[in-house]
Amino acid sequence: MDDLNDKIQKAADWIAESATVVVFSGAGLSTESGIPDFRSPGGVWDKYDPEDFSFQNFLASEKSRERYWQLATEMYESIKNAPPNDAHLAIAELERLGKLDCVITQNIDGLHVKAGNSEERVIQLHGTSLYVTCLSCNKRYERDPIQERIRQGIRAPYCDDCGGPLKPATISFGQSMPVEEMQEADRRSSTCDLFIVIGSSLVVQPAASFPLIARRSGAKLVIVNRDPTPYDSVADLVIHGEAGVTMAGILQKVRKMVTN
């Protein structure tokens, strides 16, 4: 099945036939919305040493927290106004059509919800850049008011209630993965009948384990990614291409099948 149209049709057929569809999304979706891939050449990790921004360093000193917030501000500026792309919109439409169990995402940009997915159906493995949390009392803040403090000259903000350090609600190097989200992603992966990877290189662990969990549990595995991944050989269907164009094509066919 080398013809792209045949592959798109097959993916659409499987979505229409499936009772439980899980989508797993990665950085390839974000880049198509204009958000830089921070790991690629020219990304922020070319300018900063990731080890300088580990969770342990954040906790260790005021200077480290100031440097962390400098980086976090640079990253947030590229995220906050980014629009959902055609792949995000297609995934949201699958939910409205009753064909989506959940989205498991490695992304921190909030674009699935902005596109129209329900918050309760989006499992954010690496957290979200749209909120800030206090590491002492867990109070949650909207991000923009905290960024305003940074603009006013506060280099490392602290909690209004307890005085604890504030940190973007994302998972940093060396920080534990969120237990509840990991458990829920494992459960959803184990019980779905179709698992669709979109825009992920599938090299960042432990998140990249979920496609294999789904496959070993009996689900069909579809991979939509611009470049080859380590799991292409075990997938039932692989489409190498841009996520937006591919998912828009798949959605068009799904819509015809489930609405007629």
If asked whether residues 260 and 199 sit together in one domain, one would say yes
pLDDT of amino acid 74: 86
Q: What is the mean pLDDT of residues 174-181?
A: 93
Would you say 207 and 107 are in contact if contact means Cβ atoms under 8 Å apart? no
Average pLDDT, the chain: 92
- Tokens for 234? 């075990």
Residues serving a catalytic function are: 126
Burial 68-103 (b: 16+ CB within 10 A, else e): bbebbeebbebbeebebbbbbbbbbbbbebebbbbb
pTM over 0.95: no
- Tokens for 12? 């659409």
If asked whether residues 107 and 51 sit together in one domain, one would say no
What is the rounded CA–CA span in Å between residue 190 and residue 7? 25
If asked whether residues 182 and 152 sit together in one domain, one would say no
Tell me if residue 37 falls in helix, strand or coil. coil
Residue tagged 């000259």 (tokens):
153
- Tokens for 119? 């918050």
Residue 27 has pLDDT above 80, yes or no: yes
Q: What is the mean pLDDT of residues 183-197?
A: 98
What is the rounded CA–CA span in Å between residue 45 and residue 128? 19
What digits encode the pLDDT tens for the residues 51-60? 767 899 999 9
If asked whether residues 121 and 137 sit together in one domain, one would say no
pLDDT band, very low/low/confident/very high, at 77 (cuts 50, 70, 90): confident
pLDDT of amino acid 205: 86
The β-bridge relationship of strands 166-170 and 127-134 is antiparallel
Helix (H) or strand (E) holding 243: helix 243-259
Q: What is the CATH number of the domain that holds 111?
A: 3.40.50.1220
pLDDT band, very low/low/confident/very high, at 43 (cuts 50, 70, 90): low
Residue 137 has pLDDT above 60, yes or no: yes
Q: Which domain holds residue 88?
A: 1-35+84-126+177-260
What is the rounded CA–CA span in Å between residue 151 and residue 8? 47
If asked whether residues 122 and 183 sit together in one domain, one would say yes
- Among the listed residues 105, 157, 152, the one whose alpha carbon sits nearest the alpha carbon of residue 126: 105
Residue 1 has pLDDT above 50, yes or no: no
What digits encode the pLDDT tens for the residues 93-111? 999 999 999 999 999 999 9
Strand partners, 23: 103, 196
Residue 23 has pLDDT above 60, yes or no: yes
Share of the chain above pLDDT 70, in %: 93
As a whole number of Å, the end-to-end CA separation of the chain is 26
Domain closes at, from 170, 200, 225 = 170
Residue 41 has pLDDT above 80, yes or no: no
Would you say 139 and 161 are in contact if contact means Cβ atoms under 8 Å apart? yes
Count of structural domains, the chain: 2
Domain closes at, from 106, 138, 170 = 170
Q: Cβ contacts of residue 16 below 8 Å, gap of 6+?
A: 99, 254, 257, 258
pLDDT band, very low/low/confident/very high, at 36 (cuts 50, 70, 90): confident
What digits encode the pLDDT tens for the residues 198-218? 999 998 888 899 999 999 999
Strand partners, 25: 105, 198
Residue 187 has pLDDT above 70, yes or no: yes
Residue 253 has pLDDT above 50, yes or no: yes
